[in-house]
Structure 1
Amino acid sequence: MRILIASTNKGKIEEFRRILEPLGFEVVEPKEKIEVEERGETFLENACLKAKAYFERYGIPTLADDSGLIADAISPYPGIYSSRFYSIDFGGKEEVKTTKDEANIRKLLRLLKGKKERSAKFVVVLFFYGGDRGFFVEGEVRGRISEEPRGEKGFGYDPVFIPEGYDKTFGELTPEEKDRISHRGRAIRKFLEIIKGCEGVFT
């Protein structure tokens, strides 16, 4: 089965590919980014907007991801603003010196500096859309924010997120270790359980 991933984020696409392709799915990467106004107030609303926009452009059953980090001390932030946290007014804007990911992390650590409360969670909603029908699944992993970035694997906030039961950040874990426990890995496995029962519906 061919599945289009509604994203041009190389890190996300690679995570989907690592899990789905060994199971016989063909992961299709968009040839170009579609500018989707993420005007939703929830991860689900934004995932739905992206899935429908990419399906309309490419005509391939589409899996969209909307995800983010929520730090309890400043909840609900970064939240649905995770990818552009550096640019929003909450907590003051952060200058992009190297990458947007680095600016997001720098702002997060600045806002948490000196705080004892460093618990956080990664949340994801996957919305699968095939034209006239679709469904969604959710995934979550709890952990805490480190004092400084550690590790160069992964992407986004991975270098500062330490999952429960570990002393390493996502940025220090191997891809296989991360896939077993990550919010996205958990959501993809839920998606697989549902899609198995939908044979012939979305193809």
Structure 2
Amino acid sequence: MKTKLCFASNNQHKVEEIKALLGDNFELLTLNEIGCEEELPETGNTMEANSLQKAQYLFDHYKINCFADDSGLEVAALGGEPGVYSARYAGEHRSNADNISLLLKNLEGKEDLSACFRTVITLIRDGVIHQFDGRIDGSIIRELRGDGGFGYDPVFIPSGQELTFAEMSMEQKSKISHRARAFQKFVDYLKNGN
């Protein structure tokens, strides 16, 4: 019998990616499929807190084993900003263009353009909490390049690479991304029968 897990997302691309990683032993459910239409809370001041808050909300209200993720860009010269506020850095309307514009404005005159993307996944299964993290280091460039990806991808070049995340194919990006690294730890944990 397949283990049911709810992913705290309705992003179909993310869901398909995770389904492929998990294989046939798990039945992955979306928020829509469990009838969750409300906005999940994200009021923590760390990615760990936000992913836990979303997963805990699902577990408490829907009594289902679940997992949630939270990701962000951390820029050294900005003291780790935008970090947990990456999606709404330029305001609650969540515009990628506005977020990038504000980021580049805040980096004017700064020499250190080093940055990293981080993802934290929280799994709650039978009331037990596990967290998994992934990180990729790189740097910010001052002009947008590429039209793939989303968020800050057009201005982020991973260490050792020449292309921004937005210039990479989804396959290239998913081999090295912070999210891929976190989900690999998560999948390895589940597949090892834990």
Letter matched to residue 80 of structure 2: P
Secondary structure of 1:77's match?
A: coil
Structure 1 residue 125: Cα displacement: 0.7
Measure, in 1, the Cα distance between the counterparts of 2:27 and 2:151: 25
> Is 1:140 the counterpart of 2:139 in the alignment?
no
1:143-189: per-residue Cα shift (whole Å, max 9, x none)? Answer: 01111221121111111111011111111111111111100100111
Q: In structure 2, do the counterparts of structure 1 residues 174 and 27 end up closer, same or farther at CA, with 3 Å as the change threshold?
A: farther
Q: In structure 2, do the counterparts of structure 1 residues 27 and 102 end up closer, same or farther at CA, with 3 Å as the change threshold?
A: farther
Measure, in 2, the Cα distance between the counterparts of 1:19 and 1:40: 25
1:79-125: per-residue Cα shift (whole Å, max 9, x none)? Answer: 1111111028xxxxxxx6xx611111111011112322111000111
CA contact (8 A) 1:141 1:181 kept: yes
Number of aligned residues: 187
Q: Any residues of structure 2 matched to 1:17-56 within 5 Å, and which?
A: 17-21=16-20, 23-24=23-24, 25-31=26-32, 32-56=36-60
TM-score by length of 2: 0.86
Letter matched to residue 110 of structure 1: K
1:14-64: per-residue Cα shift (whole Å, max 9, x none)? Answer: 235224325224432212543233232221111110011123344432110
Q: In structure 2, do the counterparts of structure 1 residues 7 and 33 end up closer, same or farther at CA, with 3 Å as the change threshold?
A: farther
Measure, in 2, the Cα distance between the counterparts of 1:5 and 1:101: 24
Structure 1 residue 192: Cα displacement: 1.3
Q: Residue 121 of structure 2 corresponds to which residue in structure 1? A: 126
Q: Residue 3 of structure 1 corresponds to which residue in structure 2? A: 5
Q: Residue 13 of structure 2 corresponds to which residue in structure 1? A: 14
Letter matched to residue 29 of structure 1: T
Q: Residue 84 of structure 1 corresponds to which residue in structure 2? A: 88
> Is 1:169 the counterpart of 2:168 in the alignment?
no
Letter matched to residue 86 of structure 2: S
| Residue ranges of structure 1 left out of the alignment (5+ in a row) | 89-95
CA contact (8 A) 2:7 2:67 kept: yes
Q: In structure 2, do the counterparts of structure 1 residues 173 and 128 end up closer, same or farther at CA, with 3 Å as the change threshold?
A: same
Measure, in 2, the Cα distance between the counterparts of 1:36 and 1:87: 18
| Residue ranges of structure 2 left out of the alignment (5+ in a row) | none
Measure, in 1, the Cα distance between the counterparts of 2:144 and 2:29: 32
Q: Residue 97 of structure 2 corresponds to which residue in structure 1? A: 102
Q: Residue 193 of structure 1 corresponds to which residue in structure 2? A: 188
TM-score by length of 1: 0.83
Q: Residue 150 of structure 2 corresponds to which residue in structure 1? A: 155
